[in-house]
Amino acid sequence: MKVIGYANIAGHDAGEYGVEAQERAIALQAKANGHELVASFRDEGGFREDEMDGRLGLAAALDALRKGPARGLVLARLECLARDPIVQEQVIAEVWGMGAFVFSATASEESVLGPAPPPARKLIREVLASVTGHERAMRSLRARLRRGPSRVPPERERSGLARIEELARQGATATEITWLLRVEGFAPPGGLLRLRRGFTNSFPA
C-alpha cells in the first residue's frame, strides 16, 4: 500500500520528539508493514488555540490522500493530529471517509485505530456519527420541504424549517415531528408523507 507521512510538533516534549524524529518513526513503521512511503508533510508551528488553524501541512496531506494514489496516512502518534481526542477523531473520520486508513507508529495506539477501540473513543465516534447523520438529515429535510406541495406559502415554509430544527434539537422523533407539523398547519398531508420519509432513516421512530 502506498502511504503518506505527516509530522507535527505535539505537546511539550517536542525537543525529544520533533518532526525529524517523527519522520524517522513514520519511515520505520511504513517499512515494517510493507508500505511504500510516497510523500511526507509536516507542520512545525506547533498547536494554536484553534488546533486546525494554520495546519497547512495537514491540509496538504489530506488533499494528497484524497487525490491518490496513496491510501494511508502514517503518524508517529495520534497526538500529532491534535491534542484533543475529539479533533483527532474528526480527522480520522475524514480519512476513513475517503476509503483510506490511518496508521500510528506508536504500538499502544493500534487498538484505538482498530475495529474495537477503547470505550471513550467508541463513544466519541458514535457522537460524531450522530451529529453527521443529523446534519445530513436536516439538509435532506430542507430540500424535500422546498420541493413540497405548492399549497405551502413561502413564509410558512421558512417557519416550518425552523420548527423542524427546533423539535429535532429537543429530541423529538420523526413521528412526533410529523404529527406536530400537521397539527400546527405547516404542510398538507401529502407533503407530510414525503417529509416523514425524509426523516425515518435518520431519527428514531
3-state SS string for 25-58: HHHHHHHHCCCEEEEEEEECCCCCCCCCCCCHHH
What distance in Å separates the CA atoms of residue 146 and residue 37, rounded to the nearest whole number? 48
The SS3 of residue 170 is: coil
Residue with cell 487498538: 111
Contacts of 156 (CB under 8 A, 6+ apart): 185, 186
Contacts of 58 (CB under 8 A, 6+ apart): 6, 8, 41, 43, 52, 81, 91
* CATH number given to 2-115: 3.40.50.1390
State how far the alpha carbon of 139 is from the alpha carbons of 34, 132, 142, 180, 188, in Å. 42, 11, 5, 20, 21
Phi and psi of 22, rounded to 5°? Answer: -65, -45
> Which pLDDT tens digits describe the chain residue by residue (205 residues)?
999 999 987 654 555 578 889 999 999 999 999 999 999 999 886 655 556 667 889 999 999 999 989 999 999 999 888 888 888 888 998 899 899 999 999 988 888 887 778 788 888 878 777 766 656 666 665 666 566 554 545 666 667 777 777 877 887 776 677 777 777 766 544 444 444 444 444 444 4
What distance in Å separates the CA atoms of residue 105 and residue 28, rounded to the nearest whole number? 8
What distance in Å separates the CA atoms of residue 102 and residue 205, rounded to the nearest whole number? 35
Three cell numbers at 87?
A: 479533533
